[in-house]
Amino acid sequence: MTAQRMRRTRRWALLGLLSLLGWLAGSAAMAAAGPVSVTDFTGHEVRLAHPARRIVALTPHLVENLFTAGLGNRVVGAVRYSNYPPAAQGIPRVGGYDSLSLEAIVAKKPDLVVAWAEGGSPDIIRRLRALGIAVYVDDPRRLAGIARTIRDLGVLGGTADHADRAAAAFEQRIAGLRQRYAHRRPVSLFWEVWSDPLRTLSNAGMTGAVIRLCGGRNIFAKAATLAPQVSIESVIARAPQAIVASGVAQTKPQWKAYWRQWPAIPAVAHDHFVTVPPDLISRPTVRLADGAAQLCRKLARVRRDQVRP
């Protein structure tokens, strides 16, 4: 063996030993840690005798948030479509977020389950708590809620410092976008969720917050429900300057052709069709900052086009 190879071998052996010592120290610290607690978005206090070691996540976005909080290696159960980060694809499934298996969840022996208030699982949550399993429920309606969830998960998992850094970085990106775009001349837009029947979003949820962040004006901002069904006549009457599509742009590639039937709509007349990848704009995770940045840039182009002679 050459001297160079021997030095490389010793270096890798040292790195391996240091990694092992770090893992052992982290495990010992977690074992020695006392009780942890947070209050979730529903006002329920979640108390654990020690930081969570086995976690089941009942929505894809919470799987992603757990990884962001530094807890990806403790997620022992997830739901279908949990596809980010790539490591999440190998986590055993316990059903879909709206078709959960209580038996599969319990079989994972979790000391913490994380759920979404809008995920269609209130009965599962009640039954898990009745079994003595701690459940944290998130319900972020505003951008600040994403950072809160990540910090809460960090507390429950004993990775508070890591989670706080990730949350702060997200907050900094959002603050930068807000400073750059939020106070520019508004761009009126129609947000298309689906075309048959035609559905949109009000400003009641996270998407409304992103629209405002980018200096957009949702023409159905004050709709009574989060995802109202609307008529094409009502869209024409409101004359949006841009039409934004996310998931429908992927599932229905012909979506623009549908709108070209009504060239009187300013967005159609000027070809102001905007798309954003659904995973970046619909999931309340730190990647929402990427989706918001895309939307802000595209609305800025619409804004510039309006002032050109």
Place of tokens 């979790």: 110
Residue 252, SS3 per DSSP: coil
C-alpha torsion sign, points 102, 149, 80, 91: negative
Task: Tell me which DSSP letter residue 87 carries.
Answer: G
pLDDT tens, per residue, the chain with 309 residues = 555 445 444 544 443 443 344 444 444 445 447 899 999 999 999 999 999 999 999 999 999 999 999 999 999 999 999 999 999 999 999 998 778 999 999 999 999 999 999 877 889 999 999 999 999 999 998 999 999 999 999 999 999 999 999 999 999 999 999 999 999 999 999 999 988 899 999 998 899 999 999 999 999 999 999 999 999 999 999 999 999 998 766 667 788 999 999 999 999 999 999 999 989 998 999 999 999 999 999 999 999 987 554
Domains of the chain, each with CATH number or no CATH: 33-171 (3.40.50.1980), 182-307 (3.40.50.1980)
Please tell me the pTM assigned to this model: 0.85
The two tokens of residue 25 are 């120290």
Residue 187, SS3 per DSSP: strand
- φ, ψ of residue 55 in degrees (nearest 5): -125, 135
Q: What is the pLDDT of residue 229?
A: 96
From residue 233, alpha-carbon distances to 108, 217, 254, 262, 263 in Å are 51, 19, 20, 10, 13
